Amino acid sequence: MIDARELTKRYGSTVAVDGLSFEVRGGHVTGFLGPNGAGKSTTMRMMLGLDHPTEGSVLIDGTPYGQLKHPLRKVGALLDAKAVHGGRTARDHLLCLAQSNGIPASRVTEVLAVTGLTEVARRRVGGFSLGMSQRLGIAAALLGDPEILLFDEPVNGLDPEGILWIRTLMRNLAAEGRTVFVSSHLMSEMAQTADHLIVIGKGRLIADTSTAEFISRSSQGYVRVRSPRLPDLARLLDGATGDGTAGGRAGDGTAGDRAAGVTLHGDHLRVTGMTAAAVGEAAAGAGLALHELAEVAPSLEAAYMELTRESTEYAGAGEGAERGRTREDGEYEDGEYMEVTS
């Protein structure tokens, strides 16, 4: 178990991490989520004793990382796959790490096989592709057969095959009862791997909750409807959502305190607070033809955007904030996730 308490890191007047407290438990994948610059990497470096916290502490099963006798046997970490000496072979790189923690050389052979690097074990790692470097970093993390694994943005820059491989690996590690803590700025990635989420923005904790709860609590689906008589339909639905006769909410009724309403988006309407069935009934009752009627499920990405919009570094900076909204609209349009790469 990892226990972070009141973790704070200041660089001069800049606060990178601000009084962060959370726990990471074993047996599932915990996603550590936040926009770029939110303080994820700084937090992870502090967890691993590389950076000194200005205040607060992190304990790994009750002990600070720096005091672990053979840390690689307790915690495996992948921070930066390119943080290796390019002139060394993959085997020698792993061997020097193994020796420092009293891990037998036979284990090096094992992790090379697990990560599919046996064939290139005698090649210098400077010539490795990003995907191969990532595998080597994971081999190093697995070296000591640790109970706790930390991965910082492990899928960044990987091809779909590599992403799938890492996803499966993390799931399997968690299924074995290990603690898996993985950071990402990609909500869609976390949606597919993490069971639990710790969301931070500007160094502060925004949410610490299960992934399912996170989606349902912070976002809401809607009904998309198109009609040749859009203004009439809008007026009709406006009345219906307003007077409480709407007959059920969109999504699965977890939208909570969201206001119901109808908004015009180009050639279609977005209706919240009504099910698609209720919208269809209402339109039929008024004799209005519909060209499209669809329920759009709440997206994790949208929930994340909504939560972190306040806390992104560029929030409110005009163009940046505007772009954020457009991107979100794009996802609603497609009715599914859009990879946000930056």
> Which positions lie near another protein, rule CB under 8 A?
45, 48-52, 65-68, 71-72, 77, 79-80, 82-89, 92-93, 95-97, 99-102, 140
- The region, left, alpha or beta by phi > 0 then psi within -120 to 50, assigned to residue 12 is left
Distances (CA, A) of 286 to 1, 230, 276, 329: 59, 13, 16, 29
Rank residues 144 and 298 by Cβ distance to another protein and give the closer one: 144
CB of 97 closer than 8 Å to CB of 84: no
Compute the distance between CA of residue 275 and CA of residue 237 in angstroms, rounded to an integer. 12
Shortest approach of another protein to residue 83 CB, angstroms? 3
Shortest approach of another protein to residue 67 CB, angstroms? 8
Rank residues 133 and 218 by Cβ distance to another protein and give the closer one: 133
Compute the distance between CA of residue 29 and CA of residue 237 in angstroms, rounded to an integer. 43
Rank residues 89 and 254 by Cβ distance to another protein and give the closer one: 89
Shortest approach of another protein to residue 75 CB, angstroms? 8
Reported residue count of the chain is 342
Rank residues 79 and 111 by Cβ distance to another protein and give the closer one: 79
Backbone angles phi, psi at 176, to 5 degrees: -80, 0
- Identify the burial level of 283 via C-beta atoms within 10 angstroms of its C-beta, where 0-12 means exposed, 13-18 middle and 19 or more buried: buried
Rank residues 85 and 265 by Cβ distance to another protein and give the closer one: 85
Rank residues 157 and 280 by Cβ distance to another protein and give the closer one: 157
Of 143, 112, 141, 114, the closest CA to residue 128 belongs to 112
Rank residues 41 and 218 by Cβ distance to another protein and give the closer one: 41
Of 305, 296, 306, the closest CA to residue 334 belongs to 296
CB of 81 closer than 8 Å to CB of 162: no
Rank residues 70 and 265 by Cβ distance to another protein and give the closer one: 70
Shortest approach of another protein to residue 148 CB, angstroms? 12
Compute the distance between CA of residue 129 and CA of residue 295 in angstroms, rounded to an integer. 43
Rank residues 45 and 185 by Cβ distance to another protein and give the closer one: 45
- Identify the burial level of 195 via C-beta atoms within 10 angstroms of its C-beta, where 0-12 means exposed, 13-18 middle and 19 or more buried: middle
How large is the angle between the packed helices 105-114 and 130-142, nearest 10 degrees?
140
Of 171, 165, 161, 137, the closest CA to residue 151 belongs to 137
Work out the widest C-alpha separation in the chain, in whole angstroms: 78
Shortest approach of another protein to residue 261 CB, angstroms? 49
